Amino acid sequence: MLNVVLDTNIYISSIFWKGNPHKIVELAIDKKIRVFISVEILQELEKVLRRDFQEPDEIIHRQISLIFEYADVIKTDVKLEVVKADPEDNKIIECAVSCSADYIVTGDKHLLDLVEYKGVKIVSPRRFIEIRKKDRG
């Protein structure tokens, strides 16, 4: 099974739209991929839902509770400064390195430009779906 870290933008897209990010979250819910998330990513998700989408606390807590059902929450054991252009993105790489992820799935250009970091492939949602289909035959 693939170990995957989803960027905050994937969670946001999966909540509000039915595209590839939503399909990826469904794969996690169906236990077809193993998703890892850090406390820092959860905090960012909560902040974005509140600030940018004005979601009420009840909805935010419901979304986070759902994530707890399909994702493993980990404590990151590294601090990295890989993404100079947007240091906030480092939390995604820290999570991926800490759990030995196979993939980071993101829509963030700063992360996608890295392509790979310490063996963790960094791909768009569409690319991840393509890879998974090809691997499954």
Residue 37 φ then ψ, to 5°? -145, 145
Per the CB < 8 A criterion, the answer to whether 11 and 25 are in contact is yes
The residue range of the domain holding 116 is 3-136
Assign residue 62 the CATH number of its domain.
3.40.50.1010
At residue 130, does pLDDT exceed 80?
yes
Residue whose tokens read 């960027």: 7
- What local confidence, expressed as pLDDT, does residue 104 receive? 98
Q: What is the pLDDT of residues 63-122, one digit of tens each?
A: 999 999 999 999 998 898 999 889 999 999 999 999 999 999 999 999 999 999 999 999
Mean per-residue pLDDT of the chain: 95
- Residue 117 CB contacts under 8 Å (≥ 6 apart), including other chains: 82, 93, 96, 97
Give the total number of structural domains in the chain: 1
Is the full-model pTM beyond 0.85?
yes
**Is residue 137 predicted with pLDDT exceeding 60?**
no
The number of beta carbons lying within 10 Å of the beta carbon of residue 92 is 33
What span, in angstroms and rounded, lies between the C-alpha atoms of 101 and 36? 8
